[in-house]
Amino acid sequence: MVSHSHRLSCPDCGSFLDIPSLSGWRYGDDYPKARNHFDGTIGELKTRTMMGWLRRAGLNDFNRMVVCEVGFGGGFCLRRLHTLARKAYGVEIVESSINHAHALGIPRDHLLHFERLPPILPDPVDLWIFQDSFEHIPDPGVFVDWAIANSSNEARMMVVAPCAGSWSDRVFGRFWMHRVPEHRFHWSIQGLTRFFSLRNFVVTTSFYPWKYISIKVVLSHIFIMANLNTNELLNYRSRCFLSKVTVKFNIGEFGLVFGRVS
């Protein structure tokens, strides 16, 4: 690893550990509200975005699939998957997110706490979805090995994540909008491809993950990075207005689908 003032980088693949994220930051039950995860308008935009990604990746035969969304946040995307898939599970670390997803109609036994995962799921998973969640996992090797042990022979894993070494990472550096406290490790495409290849998964599809996103979310990320309080800076009327303004957005993220090889 190559040490800089704010990151430890792999000299081979360019993936890096964000040093400021090692300050002991932890998830609390107020985390989803602070990140607008329970906002219904934002949830619908996330669902619209996810369905577009799945179509582009050719992952749409849900009535035959068992799917699992890792880091489902407010649960809006998981709710859509629950209506489409043969069965849908979700993994989260925040109890309030699990409760919110259950209130949206997802069965409690389909909602798994990250720190209390069962050794074996009732059904092998055909599709794992990591949308803006892989960079949150503190020990991805342990988690992905558990996921593989609970996967079908034809399992695939879709990962959308910030790309270390992307143009926006190089331009903005420590001010890159993805460098928030909960994003400890940032993967390059080369690094993540190697990580999965060691587990007999290879890239089957790649896509550019445009998102439908509200201006409110963009500003919220900026305020979080600047350690400012969103509610103090945006009054109720402007928050309502900004929630309705949407753009197609990508600041340095990749979309990859990995499939198992024999």
Q: What is the CATH number of the domain that holds 237?
A: 3.40.50.150
Low-confidence ranges of the chain (pLDDT < 70): 1-5, 20-24, 215-245
pLDDT one-digit tens code per residue, 165-218:
888 888 888 887 888 888 888 999 999 999 999 999 999 999 999 998 776 665
The pLDDT score that the predictor gives to residue 2 is 55
- Count up the domains in the chain and report the number: 1
The pLDDT score that the predictor gives to residue 236 is 42
Of the candidates 179, 158, 183, which has an alpha carbon nearest to the alpha carbon of residue 168?
179
The pLDDT score that the predictor gives to residue 250 is 85
> CA–CA distance from 146 to each of 60, 119, 131 (Å)?
24, 8, 18
Q: What is the largest CA-CA distance in the chain?
A: 56
Query: Structural domain of residue 203, as residue ranges?
Result: 2-260
Binning the chain into helix, strand and coil, the percentages to the nearest 5 are: 40, 25, 35
Report helix, strand or coil for 228. coil
Tracing tokens 């059904």 back to the chain, one arrives at: 123
Answer for the pair 200, 261: CB distance below 8 angstroms, yes or no: yes
Helix (H) or strand (E) holding 204: strand 201-207
